């Protein structure tokens, strides 16, 4: 009989009040933060709208990547009302390249709720903020703590790592008992902090700069005398890496379909799925060992109900999503007949290549678009050699 796979045993979680009633810890952390930290645009404002936008953009995304997006977004959508009345297409266009597009869709939807139910203002109640689309407990706590000084814990990936090391908990961050423990630890620490906003910022800053996911630089750490992992010399082993899962790989064929006046056909992905609301060149997964040109022809016939001839290859590119990888092959195609009747798209249109840049595309499709634009053959099919 096959042996049942068992999860690694969870280490005993330490009693939480280790650092409780230790104001020296809070003072050391606060003094370190006060001596200098990164000057980030969202740290210069108490405006809950701006803090909210930054917190959503920072989910799964690096600070340096976020800054230009944040600035462009706020230049265009200066307040909740402006965001709520914008077209989702425009919001997605400004989000293009940042990834995790559900964040943009939720931000737009939540802005509508704030206008309808809260007079365009962010509520001051944790449960109400937490109830907005795309806003989890940590994001809600951040908004209320940084905007109004409310005493809520913040638990982003950096803070989780710091807490696990401070208490020498050799566990991965993804397991529910560890998560519950982390929340309790973060609550206890923020209870003792003289200034909850500075305290939360300081813990995030520590995790981002000193106690990083690579090798922590404990020699620069303001709280190393309280750190159990450092004391035990185990800071490099904590947290445990998440167990690796095999990442599925798919081979995709897509077509840049040209009509007889040189326009190109694009379709819009369904609003609520992966990459929802973004535009793309039609195509799909290869079946078995079929020829890639056949994949493109078949997928276009099945998805759109039109006939095309598949011509020269434009490019092949690799792309990784969170849970799978793709190798995408893009081909020029010529429209032979039929009016598009998409089965799995919200909209479609024929457009000159020069106008495609007005739409929001997923990253893999942006590369195809760059090649189309760079080729200077916007209205006629041709061969590209990237
Ligand atoms: Fe992180 Fe080292 Fe500081 Fe501990 S002493 S919190 S491991 S940087």
pLDDT single digits (tens) 134-170? 999 999 999 999 999 999 999 999 999 999 999 999 8
| Average confidence (pLDDT) over 344-358 | 93
| The predicted structure's pLDDT at residue 240 | 86
Q: For residue 77, what are its two tokens?
A: 């959508």
Residue 362 in this model has a pLDDT that exceeds 80? yes
Taking only the tens place, the pLDDT of each residue in 162-202 is 999 999 998 877 778 889 989 988 998 898 788 999 999 99
Question: What whole-number distance in Å separates Cα of residue 343 and Cα of residue 55?
Answer: 36
Contacts 24+ apart (CB under 8 A), 119-126: 120/79, 120/80, 120/81, 120/84, 121/48, 121/80, 122/48, 122/49, 122/52, 122/80, 122/147, 124/148, 124/150, 126/150, 126/152
| Average confidence (pLDDT) over 369-373 | 92
| Average confidence (pLDDT) over 218-230 | 94
| The predicted structure's pLDDT at residue 379 | 42
Q: Is 40 left (phi over 0), alpha (psi -120 to 50) or beta?
A: beta
Mean pLDDT of the chain: 90
Task: Say if CB 315 and CB 240 are below 8 A apart.
Answer: no
Superfamily of structural domain 249-376: Nucleoside Triphosphate Pyrophosphohydrolase (3.90.79.10)
The domain ranges of the chain are 22-232, 249-376
Q: How far is the CA of 166 from the centre of ligand 1 (A)?
A: 7
| Average confidence (pLDDT) over 210-237 | 94
Task: Please tell me if the CB atom of residue 218 comes closer than 6 angstroms to any atom of ligand 1.
Answer: yes
Task: Please tell me if the CB atom of residue 230 comes closer than 6 angstroms to any atom of ligand 1.
Answer: yes
| Residue ID of nearest Cα to ligand 1 atom 5 | 224
| The predicted structure's pLDDT at residue 172 | 77
Task: Please tell me if the CB atom of residue 229 comes closer than 6 angstroms to any atom of ligand 1.
Answer: yes
| The predicted structure's pLDDT at residue 336 | 96
Q: Which residues pair with 252 in a beta bridge?
A: 285, 328
CA distances 86 to 100, 206, 351, Å, are 19, 37, 23
Task: Please tell me if the CB atom of residue 166 comes closer than 6 angstroms to any atom of ligand 1.
Answer: yes
Is 55 tagged catalytic? yes
Task: Please tell me if the CB atom of residue 221 comes closer than 6 angstroms to any atom of ligand 1.
Answer: yes
Task: Please tell me if the CB atom of residue 227 comes closer than 6 angstroms to any atom of ligand 1.
Answer: yes
Ligand 1 atom closest to the Cα of residue 224 is 5
| The predicted structure's pLDDT at residue 3 | 45
Question: What whole-number distance in Å separates Cα of residue 316 and Cα of residue 300?
Answer: 18
Taking only the tens place, the pLDDT of each residue in 19-72 is 655 688 888 999 999 999 999 999 999 999 999 999 999 999 999 999 999 999
Q: What share of the chain has pLDDT > 90, as a percent?
A: 75
Q: How far is the CA of 36 from the centre of ligand 1 (A)?
A: 18
Residues in the chain: 386
CATH 1.10.340.30 fits domain 22-232? yes
Task: Please tell me if the CB atom of residue 161 comes closer than 6 angstroms to any atom of ligand 1.
Answer: no
75 pLDDT band, cuts 50/70/90, is very high
| The predicted structure's pLDDT at residue 4 | 46
261 pLDDT band, cuts 50/70/90, is very high
Catalytic site residue from 9, 15, 55, 191: 55
Q: How far is the CA of 151 from the centre of ligand 1 (A)?
A: 24
| The predicted structure's pLDDT at residue 8 | 56
Which of 204, 209, 229 maximizes ligand 1 atoms within 8 Å of its Cβ, making it the mutation to test the pocket? 229
| The predicted structure's pLDDT at residue 146 | 98
Indicate the pTM of the whole model: 0.84
């Amino acid at each position: 009989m096959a042996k049942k796979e068992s999860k690694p045993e969870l280490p005993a979680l330490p009693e939480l009040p280790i650092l409780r009633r230790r104001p020296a810890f809070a003072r050391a952390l606060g003094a370190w933060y006060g001596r200098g930290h990164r000057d980030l645009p969202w740290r210069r404002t108490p405006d809950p709208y701006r803090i909210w936008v930054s917190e959503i953009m920072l989910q799964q995304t690096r600070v340096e990547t976020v800054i230009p997006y944040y600035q462009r977004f706020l230049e265009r959508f200066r307040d909740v009302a402006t965001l709520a009345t914008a077209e989702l297409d425009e919001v997605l266009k400004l989000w293009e390249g940042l990834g995790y597009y559900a964040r943009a869709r939720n931000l737009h939807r939540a802005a509508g709720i704030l206008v309808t139910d809260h007079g365009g203002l962010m509520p001051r109640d944790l449960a109400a903020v937490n109830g907005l689309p795309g806003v989890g407990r940590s994001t809600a706590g951040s908004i209320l703590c940084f905007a109004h000084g409310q005493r809520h814990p913040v638990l982003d990936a950096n803070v989780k790592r710091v807490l696990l090391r401070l208490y020498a908990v050799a566990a991965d961050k993804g397991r529910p008992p560890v998560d519950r423990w982390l929340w309790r630890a973060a609550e206890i620490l923020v209870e003792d902090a003289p200034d909850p906003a500075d305290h939360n910022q300081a813990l995030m800053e520590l995790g981002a700069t000193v106690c990083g996911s690579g090798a922590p630089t404990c020699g620069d750490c303001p709280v190393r005398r309280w750190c159990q992992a450092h004391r035990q010399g185990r800071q490099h082993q904590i947290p445990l890496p998440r167990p690796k899962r095999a990442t599925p790989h798919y081979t995709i064929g897509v077509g840049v379909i040209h009509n007889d006046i040189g326009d190109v056909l694009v379709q819009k992905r369904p609003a609520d799925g992966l990459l929802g609301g973004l535009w793309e060149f039609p195509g799909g997964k290869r079946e078995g060992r079929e020829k890639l040109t056949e994949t493109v022809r078949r997928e276009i016939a099945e998805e759109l109900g039109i006939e095309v001839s598949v011509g020269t290859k434009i490019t092949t590119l690799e792309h990784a999503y969170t849970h799978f990888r793709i190798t995408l092959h893009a081909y020029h195609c010529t429209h032979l007949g039929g009016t598009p009747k998409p089965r799995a798209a919200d909209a479609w249109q024929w457009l000159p290549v020069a106008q495609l840049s007005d739409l929001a595309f997923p990253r893999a499709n942006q590369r195809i678009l760059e090649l189309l634009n760079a080729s200077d053959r916007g209205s006629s099919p041709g061969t590209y050699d990237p």
